[in-house]
Each structure stands twice: as C-alpha cells, then as structure tokens.
Chain A
C-alpha cells in the first residue's frame, strides 16, 4: 500500500470530520411538536461546534424563562448535530448533552 492510499484509509476511518453543525430541537406549537434545525437545512451549516453549542445553550436560556412548561414556543431537546444529523458530544465534557430534555411521544410534524 502506498502512503497516499494509507492516508486515504486513515482519513476515512480514523476520526470523522463533520462538514458542519446545526442546532436541533423540538418546538411546541398549538397542536404538538415540530422538529426544528437552526440554521435550517436550506442554509449553510455552522462551521464551529463551539459556536453551535454556545448558540444552543443561549437558545435554551432564552426560552426556559420566558415560556411556561407546555406552552407554544417552548423548546425541548436542544442539542447540536453534525451534517449527518448525529448528535455530537459536547466538547466541554465529552458527553452527549441535551438541554431541556423531554420524551416526546407520537409523530413529529416534520423538520423545519
């Protein structure tokens, strides 16, 4: 195996490099919950997980005080996902973190 081939193998299999990050959460509305991505799927992703986690935390902080439990507009399960919609570990602790977790039963109304 040539070095170039070996490097390709390492690139594919060693550490996955995400192409970007989005904040994913469930937003309560009048009828149920909808899954929302920020920035939306149509927009470019955030290129920094540090920024994405900070953004997620601020979203949580901004909505947990203003809205009551169960009221429309409240955000649940706020977390950061990569380009394959997989939750990424929080860089500060190395664990998967979800702000304002809530088990949501039933079908979601679709991704926004």
Chain B
C-alpha cells in the first residue's frame, strides 16, 4: 500500500515538474506527424503531375517522409528535455542500423523482375505496373482494369518484362497463292518494312519463305522496332502490307476446296453426277482427284 502511494506521489511530482513539457512534446509530435503526412501527400501529387513517368517519385517521397518523421520526433524529444546531441546520436545509430540491415538483407530478399511503369505479362495478365508494395503489385491492364496481384504469385509464375530490352521483333506473316510471283512478294514485303520510319536498320528487315503449305506459300517478314512503338507499328505494317499487295496485284491465299464434276461418271451413274473433290494447290500440281461415291 505504501509502495503504491509512493509511486503515485512520484508520478504526481513528475507531472508537476515535467507535465508542461510532456504535453507540449505530445502536441508537437501529433501536429508534426499530421503536417508531415500532409506535405507527403502534396509532394506525391505534385511530383506525379510534373513527372508522371518518373519511376523514382515514390522512393523520393518515401525517403523525404521518413526524414520528416525523424525530424518531428527529434524536435518533440528535445522539447521534452532530451539533449539534442543524444537525439542526434540515437537517430544516427538507427539510420546506420537500417542501412546496414537493408544492405545485408537485400540479396536475400526476392526482388520483383520489373519496376513501376514497366509493361509486363505476369501469368495471364498483361498490363502496366502502377505500384509495388511488400504484399502485392498493382497492375493496370490495357482495357482499364486494375489488378492487385500477390507478389508471391508473381514470383512463382513466368513473367515477361517488355521493358527489359529496348527493341522488339515484329512478325508479319502472310500467305500467298502458289501461282503468285514469290520474288515480287518478298520484295514488296521487305520494302513495306524498310520504308517505315520506325523499323530499325540494324538488324534490317528480312523476309523468309517459312513453309510450302497445302494451299499457300507462307512468307515471314521480320523486323525490329522500339518497344514503345511495337503495337502500333505492327498494326500499321499489317495494314500497309495488305494494301500494298493489293496494289501490286499479289493475291493472298486462303484454304480452298475445288469441286470437279466428272461428266463421264455422271453418264454411268443413275442420272446423277458424282462429285470429285480435290484440294487444289493454286498454280501447283493438284492432288489426284479423290472420288466420293
């Protein structure tokens, strides 16, 4: 009983002696943290408006916020009666420990194979990385949906980062009929790719004969463009290829089935014609007719 009384008396004396400083320090702490939060939000929105594509905006704001919080805590502690030198020492020690831990643990921590702003394909999701936290990654797909994907799921899946390399190869595959001028088609397709401003000269565009298929000669155009131009360049090249082939009179192939009527067999039958079906290769040797009885 006596002990508790003594303790209460001690608290009372302490409050009487340092109560004002304690209240003041608490007020400084609360107000300082609120102001720091307000500045942090303002700074983030300002930086995102000024530099919307800069990936280091979040990191810069985080560092500034930590510094502001540390400053507020230090001021509150000094107001409470702590010596500024001691506070400075304490903050220095904390900072050094934090930096040491980050440097030591960084190789052990799994890192994401992309940065904010990259276009990635994680699993079945294709989109732009908007934010990365310790728990999940915010991904915005090109149709406007926002996905919060757990980091563990991303780390366990195949990830394609389209920003890892500067350039990307465009495939323009077209099929032409067997009776068309193959060399002309190759020349036209190469010209379409070469004269496009976005197509790289090194490595230059190439056209290959990919396959001699059942109904078509398959041509493959290959060229390289900058990653950022990939999609539009591909669509434009396809459009220009179609139109240029039309202008040059080169006809595209399509699966076709020719039906021949054999008049001789029609005479022998009971007044009906027997259809003769063959898959004809345009300009090439037709397969022997296969009669369907």
Binding site for B on A (CB under 8 A): 7, 11, 14-21, 47-51, 91-94
Question: Residue of A at shortest CB range from B239?
Answer: A50
Question: Residue of A at shortest CB range from B228?
Answer: A47
Provided the pairs A11-B201, A93-B247, A94-B247 are in contact, do residues A17 and B194 lie with their beta carbons within 8 angstroms? Answer: yes
Q: Which of B204, B232, B243 contacts A91 (CB 8 A)?
A: B243
Contact check, A17 vs B196: say whether CB atoms are below 8 A apart. Answer: yes
In the complex, per-residue mask of B76-117: 1 if CB is within 8 Å of any chain A CB, else 0 = 000000000000000000000000000000000000000000
Q: Is the interface of B mostly helix, strand, loop or mixed?
A: helix
Q: Could you list 20 A-B pairs, sorted by A, with CB under 8 Å?
A: A11-B201, A15-B191, A15-B195, A16-B195, A17-B195, A17-B196, A17-B199, A17-B201, A18-B197, A47-B197, A47-B229, A48-B232, A48-B236, A50-B236, A50-B239, A50-B240, A51-B232, A51-B236, A91-B243, A94-B247
B44: Cβ under 8 A from any A Cβ: no
Provided the pairs A91-B244, A94-B244 are in contact, do residues A19 and B197 lie with their beta carbons within 8 angstroms? Answer: yes
B168: Cβ under 8 A from any A Cβ: no
In the docked arrangement, what's the CA distance between A50 and B197, Å? 11
Question: Whole-angstrom distance from the CB of A20 to the nearest CB of chain B?
Answer: 6
B185: Cβ under 8 A from any A Cβ: no
Question: Residue of B at shortest CB range from A50?
Answer: B236
Question: Whole-angstrom distance from the CB of A31 to the nearest CB of chain B?
Answer: 36
B120: Cβ under 8 A from any A Cβ: no
Nearest 4 CB-CB pairs, A to B? A50-B236, A15-B194, A94-B247, A15-B195
Contact check, A48 vs B233: say whether CB atoms are below 8 A apart. Answer: yes
Question: Residue of B at shortest CB range from A91?
Answer: B240
Chain A residues with CB below 8 A from B247, complex form: 93-94
B138: Cβ under 8 A from any A Cβ: no
Chain A residues with CB below 8 A from B243, complex form: 91-92
Question: Whole-angstrom distance from the CB of B288 to the nearest CB of chain A?
Answer: 42
Chain A residues with CB below 8 A from B199, complex form: 17
In the docked arrangement, what's the CA distance between A14 and B197, Å? 15
Provided the pairs A91-B244, A92-B243, A94-B244 are in contact, do residues A14 and B194 lie with their beta carbons within 8 angstroms? Answer: yes
Chain B residues with CB below 8 A from A47, complex form: 197-198, 229
Chain A residues with CB below 8 A from B201, complex form: 11, 17
Contact check, A48 vs B198: say whether CB atoms are below 8 A apart. Answer: yes
Question: Residue of A at shortest CB range from B198?
Answer: A47
In the docked arrangement, what's the CA distance between A18 and B198, Å? 9
Contact check, A20 vs B197: say whether CB atoms are below 8 A apart. Answer: yes
In the docked arrangement, what's the CA distance between A51 and B197, Å? 12
Contact check, B197 vs A48: say whether CB atoms are below 8 A apart. Answer: yes
In the docked arrangement, what's the CA distance between A1 and B204, Å? 19
